[in-house]
């Protein structure tokens, strides 16, 4: 009984020495049995920290000798019906652990059980006569929960040649961390930036969001291939993003109104108002005339600058035309992502000449009186009719006077 108390006291002292960090400190012993009693399991490491069912990994058990004499150990083993040792024949020889030293036993294991927590028993024997084997329980978790990936912050529709940013969210609902997460984007009809992104690790129960900028050139899908490591084991998952091509409902919408056109010897000056009926602002807006009209000075194009949503600005354009039936007005601007957008509005000058709302077509006299050719004709007709009425009335009055 006294000997057992001494052994337990020595083990407790060895543990205190280890906790205090004095790795080189040893306990003096008088015989091999006392030295063997000071050998203990000082820790273990599992890689991965949590196994998938059927997954292979490593278990490294640290065995430390706290005595001041070397101790020979042999026959390390790991016992559990749900844990298979792949390298079972790797520890056939006896290992001599020096004073204060630690030796590691690395088992390559396969977790064959379903989800749950297992407690395989590690044991190693000392070669001193009359001593007992050293035992320690290992806590091993098996979890079949898989890593998931999804696409968030995506628009309802994508527009051709317009860049939109989406987030690829990688969620790790597992009980253990994953590492070396690689997201690779691919599409046959789109430019994607970046083409791939790496995340060092995702702790258990957390997620990360990785932004990708997508510029579609045609209707196509974007595929995000996600690979990651659980320990040294590589796993993959995939998420596909269909690109629904349509009109950008948030884009700037330019409209032209209150147009006036003044001509002089084949050169025309157009003034009007341009408004933004869209939801987002238009940056760096420029207005010009399109073919077959030829821009000339002093206003071959007009720099509007930034045009906010629901705002308007006036513009002036000068150009030469040989067939003034309609004028295409080209509008260019940049959206919030820096993409160049454009729109062409063709103004029907016949409509303007008929006096419909939206503009005035002036005669080619250089005058800015605000009367167009149609209005001049109407004014002439009115004057002629007024003259006829006055003439008839005067003739009637003269006839009356003669009768009297």
pLDDT at 364: 35
pLDDT at 238: 96
Q: Which CATH number goes with the domain that contains 176?
A: 2.60.40.10
pLDDT at 22: 40
pLDDT digits (tens, 9 = 90+) for 234-290: 999 999 999 988 776 677 888 888 888 887 777 888 899 998 888 788 888 999 988
Q: What is the pTM of this model?
A: 0.63
Q: What's CA 186's distance to the chain center, in Å?
A: 14
How far is it, in rounded angstroms, from Cα 363 to Cα 397?
40
pLDDT digits (tens, 9 = 90+) for 130-185: 888 999 999 999 999 999 999 988 888 888 888 889 999 999 999 999 999 999 99
**386: domain range?**
380-404
Residue ending a domain, among 96, 124, 142, is 142
pLDDT at 138: 96
C-alpha separations of 27 from 20, 129, 176 in Å:
14, 20, 38
Same domain, 106 and 16: yes
Same domain, 265 and 354: yes
Same domain, 331 and 395: no
pLDDT at 379: 52
Same domain, 295 and 198: no
pLDDT at 374: 43
DSSP annotation of 28: -
Same domain, 93 and 212: no
Same domain, 12 and 120: yes
Cβ burial of 51 (10 Å; 0-12, 13-18, 19+) is: buried
Question: How many residues appear in the chain?
Answer: 404
Same domain, 295 and 400: no
Name the stretches of the chain with pLDDT < 70.
1-24, 248-249, 349-384, 386-387, 389-390, 393-394, 396-404
**247 found inside a domain:** no
Are 309 and 252 a contacting pair, CB within 8 Å? yes
Q: The tokens of 3 are what?
A: 């000997």
Same domain, 184 and 228: yes
How far is it, in rounded angstroms, from Cα 223 to Cα 245?
16
pLDDT at 19: 38
For residue 118, which of 59, 63, 75, 172 has the smallest C-alpha distance?
59
Output the CA torsion sign for 289, 295, 296, 301: positive
Number of domains present in the structure of the chain: 4
3-state helix, strand, coil in the chain (%, to 5): 15, 50, 35
**248 found inside a domain:** no
Are 224 and 183 a contacting pair, CB within 8 Å? yes
pLDDT at 381: 55
pLDDT at 403: 60
C-alpha separations of 169 from 151, 154, 185, 221, 260 in Å:
6, 12, 13, 18, 54
For residue 163, which of 332, 334, 343 has the smallest C-alpha distance?
334
Q: Which CATH number goes with the domain that contains 289?
A: 2.60.40
Dihedral (C-alpha) 151, 153, 156, 160: value to the nearest 10 degrees?
-90
How far is it, in rounded angstroms, from Cα 151 to Cα 239?
8
Same domain, 104 and 153: no
Same domain, 229 and 270: no
């Amino acid at each position: 009984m006294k000997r057992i108390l001494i052994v337990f006291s020595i083990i407790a002292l060895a543990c205190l020495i280890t906790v205090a960090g004095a790795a080189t400190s040893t306990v003096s012993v008088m015989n091999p049995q006392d030295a063997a009693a000071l050998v203990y399991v000082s820790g273990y490491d599992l890689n991965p920290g949590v196994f998938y069912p059927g997954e292979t990994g490593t278990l490294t058990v640290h065995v430390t000798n706290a005595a001041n004499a070397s101790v020979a150990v042999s026959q390390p083993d790991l016992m559990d019906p749900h844990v298979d040792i792949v390298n079972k024949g790797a520890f056939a020889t006896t290992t001599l652990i020096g004073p204060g030293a630690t030796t590691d036993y690395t088992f390559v294991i396969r977790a064959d059980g379903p989800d749950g927590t297992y407690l395989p028993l590690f044991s190693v024997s000392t070669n001193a006569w009359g001593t007992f084997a050293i035992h320690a329980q290992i806590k091993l978790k098996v979890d079949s929960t898989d890593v998931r990936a999804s696409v968030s912050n995506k628009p309802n529709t994508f527009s051709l040649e317009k860049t939109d940013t989406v987030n690829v969210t990688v969620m790790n609902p597992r009980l253990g961390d994953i590492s070396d997460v690689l997201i690779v984007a691919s599409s046959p009809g789109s430019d994607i930036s970046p083409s791939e992104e790496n995340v060092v690790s995702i702790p258990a129960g957390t997620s990360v969001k990785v932004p990708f900028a997508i510029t579609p050139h045609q209707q196509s899908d974007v595929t995000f291939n996600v690979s990651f490591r659980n320990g040294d084991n590589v796993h993959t998952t995939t998420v596909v993003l269909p690109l629904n091509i349509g009109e950008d409902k948030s884009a700037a919408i330019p409209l032209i109104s209150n147009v006036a056109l003044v001509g002089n010897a084949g050169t025309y000056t157009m003034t009007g108002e341009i408004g933004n009926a869209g939801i987002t602002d238009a940056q760096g807006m420029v207005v010009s005339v399109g073919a077959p009209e030829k821009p000339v000075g002093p206003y071959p194009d007009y720099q509007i600058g930034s045009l906010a949503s629901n705002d308007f600005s006036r513009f002036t354009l000068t150009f030469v035309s040989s067939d003034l039936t309609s004028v295409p007005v080209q509008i260019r601007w940049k959206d919030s992502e820096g993409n160049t957008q454009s729109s062409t509005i063709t103004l029907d000058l016949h409509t303007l000449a008929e006096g419909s709302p939206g503009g005035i077509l002036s005669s080619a006299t250089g005058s800015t009186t605000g009367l167009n050719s149609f209005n001049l004709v109407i004014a002439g007709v009115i004057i002629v009719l007024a003259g006829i009425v006055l003439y008839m009335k005067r003739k009637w009055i003269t006839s009356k006077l003669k009768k009297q």
